[in-house]
Structure 1
């Protein structure tokens, strides 16, 4: 596995999203380090394009969202984004995969897994993007803040939903209403992140996890992910209701047959996603 950090392109002033394919993994890089990766409209559009590409390309199985420079993101570039907020508009075009993944009308929801590596500053939209993903690796000195109330606005990228879901209402209110800054150990305690590693190892660890997921049966990975989300969003009974039909579909796939063969032959499985 090639765990070398990606080399960024030279970004325009408004920043960009770089992508790179490694095997079955799509690397998605936030590239505006001169502005601590502050988010602009073109960056949001390009991020949605990358997430949509991940879902639409059958050769891609997992995404890794990471950032160039010392920081994941300082949050929104408010002067650039505020006019959209004032008009009630989204920077992401309709019909694409919406990266925050909370089911807005007119947008697609991601089906394939997303692993996120965060380091340095991870404020506002950075927290919401990682909570909208599946697995988060954080650098040990990462700093977090959901500080929208400090700017006179509300977090509308999913924090009001997912902080309470992960950490309980009291913990969510503590950080949402005070706009305080908290560290990686607190983020781990609240289940906002899953692993802490030294800063220099964030990308490599995120890619390692993604490669491990990519080695599994793709259809089974997607079905498992979606069933977990159904249980969280619609309750256990709704998720259980899918068990028999989903298992029947998977059990009749070529990958399930390969799973049996590899078990009998005592070798790693070679899955094709069919």
Structure 2
């Protein structure tokens, strides 16, 4: 699948969106700057996440990037002057923070495909997503300490939890680059594929997730996040009530009928 934009929005759009069935493709579109994120890109990315969250027909997001590189990180020349005492605010009305570090989580899963250079906020976007596919030659770096700042998109929270304390600190405190195999070893990446095929594979996974019962997918995601945020006891307390709600849904009936008849289920999200 090509990494070129396919919709008809203005060519200066920093983020392209395209619906493919129940999947919303969200493409970073600043290839001439290695997809460095300026304020406009951050705003448009937040709006794309808001669209994914609100539309009941959309079940999965797929984040990818136009061009050779996923992202070179923040465009500090554009973002720096916007930093205030409370950091930088960029989420407009109707948007959702893509890094989900403001207390609100996306209720739907996100698959992400990365390639080329994937720095700083790119890693944090991976950490805030649910499944990551990387091109084999991808290079990663959490470079903030070399710029005199700290990772503020969730790496300090999620990187140690996913990779282990020493693994996370090895890369966050040095700013060194690491490769796709190291990213997979640490759990940041789930699959490594040949260069150029990362978007195609990510789309296969997104479609596979979108084919499942959406209420069940969202409930599974929500309970897992409850365990992370609030602990095992809170997640355990929510299991039986969630099961009861799902069992009463039309999708549960559809799933049972599909099991009995051995025919593919066509879930409706109700």
TM range (shorter): over 0.9
Question: What SS does the aligned partner of 2:263 have?
Answer: coil
Shift of 1:35: 0.4
Gaps of at least 5 residues in structure 1 are none
Give the superposition deviation at 1:10. Answer: 6.2
Is the deviation greater in 27-36 or in 82-91?
82-91
- Structure 1 residues 17 and 263, CA gap change in structure 2 (3 angstroms): same
Residue 266 of structure 1 pairs with residue 262 of structure 2: yes
> Which one of the candidate residues 48, 57, 60 is aligned to 1:62?
60
Structure 2 counterpart of 1:134, from 114, 130, 133: 130
Which structure 1 residue ranges, 4+ long, deviate > 2 Å from structure 2? Answer: 3-12, 84-89, 93-96
Aligned Cα root-mean-square deviation (Å): 1.4
Equivalent residue number for residue 175 of structure 1: 171
- Tell me how far 1:163 sits from its aligned partner: 0.9
Question: How many Å apart are 1:109 and its aligned residue?
Answer: 2.0
- Determine the C-alpha separation between the residues in 2 that align with 1:133 and 1:196: 16
Query: 2:26 is matched with which residue?
Result: 28
Match of 2:200 among 196, 204, 213: 204
**2:89 is the alignment partner of 1:90:** yes
Q: 2:3–2:66: 8 Å Cα contact kept in structure 1? A: no
Q: Counterpart in 2 of 1:245?
A: 241
Q: Between Structure 1 and Structure 2, how many residues are aligned?
A: 267
State whether residues 75 and 124 of structure 1, in contact with CA within 8 Å, keep that contact through their aligned partners in structure 2.
yes
2:36 is paired with a residue of what secondary structure? Answer: coil
1:164 aligns with 2:183: no
Contact conserved, 1:5 with 1:204, CA < 8 A, in 2? no
Q: Do residues 11 (structure 1) and 15 (structure 2) align?
A: no
Q: How does the TM-score come out when normalised to structure 1?
A: 0.94
- 1:99 paired residue number: 98
Q: Which runs of 5 or more residues in structure 2 are unaligned? A: none
